[in-house]
């Protein structure tokens, strides 16, 4: 078990949800936190929560898809705390849309945010650690949908599967440098993720924070994911799951694709009325 006292972690998507909860949990473990996101007011609020939990916080306001954001985040960690020991690439979003309704811009933007931005941050952090001949810990917030998919979430699942595959590869490529790599696979988490997803998908605002098809047994608060992340920071492992039942289901789906098809077919039929299958106009 690693002592996290005084260690520094950089977290993207830190203004709400899993990112904010993880920042507070890291502070309780004695860590210093660099918070990155687009909304300055939300980051200030999370920074106060971090300090109330006994930690120290620095803020970087920016968009993860901006090329300068990676440098800004890591440089702020050096400026405020003398360096960084872990990175949690958590920023991301999803939509609930038929693939045929998504424009080329929709597809590329989701990959830019969910995949390319997270990999760019991890790559630069790894380079800095290797140059300094020291280790560190990279974590990427993937999803349970990296192992299987659901109707109308196919592109989101593809971005998360890409993250998971790169994380698995990096874990072995960077092991000789003392750098740990972990992918995090939350199940349905009660955050603003689904509210934002609904807005981006063109649904009426003010809906549920979780999709209708999500069984209540598989809905978790962000604090549960945060505790699992801190546990992984103390004792690194390749994958972080917050539901063994969903992990087991993903294995069954891999072994028996027909079972996955049965589940998705039912879910698709349940949600079909929400979607217009017309081709995109953009």
pLDDT at 273: 75
- Is residue 152 part of the annotated active site? The answer reads no
Measured at the CA of 112, the angle between CA 123 and CA 67, to 5 degrees, comes to 55
Domain presence at residue 282: no
Residue 73 near residue 83, CB atoms below 8 Å: no
In this structure, the dihedral spanned by the alpha carbons of residues 159, 162, 163 and 168, taken in order and rounded to 10 degrees, is 160
DSSP string, 30-95: T-EEEEEES-HHHHHHHHHHHHHTT-EEEEEE--TTSHHHHHHHHHHHHHHHS--SEEEE------
Three-state secondary structure of 166-182: HHHHHHHHCHHHCEEEE
pLDDT at 225: 96
Domain presence at residue 1: no
Three-class DSSP category at 214? coil
Domain presence at residue 56: yes
Domain count, the chain: 1
Domain presence at residue 123: yes
Q: Which of 93, 152, 153, 156 is catalytic?
A: 156
Measured at the CA of 275, the angle between CA 247 and CA 245, to 5 degrees, comes to 10
Domain presence at residue 280: no
pTM: 0.88
Take residue 14 and report the two structure tokens written for it: 């830190």
Domain presence at residue 281: no
Residues of the chain with pLDDT under 50: 193-194, 196-198, 200, 205-208, 210, 279, 281-282
Domain presence at residue 157: yes
pLDDT at 103: 95
The CATH number that applies at residue 31 is 3.40.50.720
Domain that holds residue 123: 8-274
Neighbours of 100 (CB within 10 A): 11
DSSP annotation of 19: H
Residue 185 near residue 244, CB atoms below 8 Å: no
pLDDT at 208: 47
Take residue 157 and report the two structure tokens written for it: 């699942």
Give the C-alpha separation, 150 to 157, whole Å: 8
Long-range contacts of 164-173 (CB under 8 A, 24+ apart): 164/140, 164/239, 166/119, 166/140, 167/138, 167/140, 167/142, 167/238, 168/238, 170/122, 170/126, 170/138, 171/238
Residue 89 near residue 22, CB atoms below 8 Å: no
pLDDT at 217: 57
Domain presence at residue 219: yes
């Amino acid at each position: 078990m690693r002592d996290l006292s005084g260690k520094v972690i950089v977290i993207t998507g830190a203004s709400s949800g899993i990112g904010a909860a993880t920042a507070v949990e890291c502070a309780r473990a004695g860590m210093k936190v660099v918070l990155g996101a687009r909304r300055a007011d939300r980051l200030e609020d999370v920074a106060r929560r971090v300090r109330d939990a006994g930690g120290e916080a620095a803020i970087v306001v920016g968009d993860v898809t901006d090329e300068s954001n990676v440098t800004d985040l890591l440089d702020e960690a050096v400026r405020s705390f003398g360096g960084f020991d872990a990175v949690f690439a958590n920023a991301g979003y999803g939509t609930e849309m038929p693939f045929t309704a998504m424009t080329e811009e929709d597809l590329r933007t989701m990959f830019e945010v969910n995949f390319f931005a997270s990999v760019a941050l991890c790559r630069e952090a790894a380079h800095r650690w290797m140059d300094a001949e020291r280790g560190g810990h990279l974590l990427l917030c993937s999803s349970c949908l990296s192992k299987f998919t659901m109707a109308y979430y196919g592109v989101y699942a593809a971005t998360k599967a890409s993250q998971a595959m790169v994380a698995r590869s990096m874990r072995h490529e960077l092991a000789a440098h003392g750098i740990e790599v972990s992918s995090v696979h939350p199940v349905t988490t009660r955050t603003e993720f689904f509210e934002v997803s609904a807005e981006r998908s063109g649904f009426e605002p003010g809906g549920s924070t979780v999709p209708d098809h999500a069984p209540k047994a598989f809905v978790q608060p962000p604090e549960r994911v945060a505790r699992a992340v801190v546990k992984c920071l103390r004792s690194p492992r390749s994958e972080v799951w917050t539901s063994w039942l969903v992990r087991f289901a993903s294995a069954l789906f891999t072994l028996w694709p027909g079972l996955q098809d049965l589940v998705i077919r039912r879910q698709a039929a349940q949600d079909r009325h929400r979607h217009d299958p017309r081709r995109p106009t953009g």
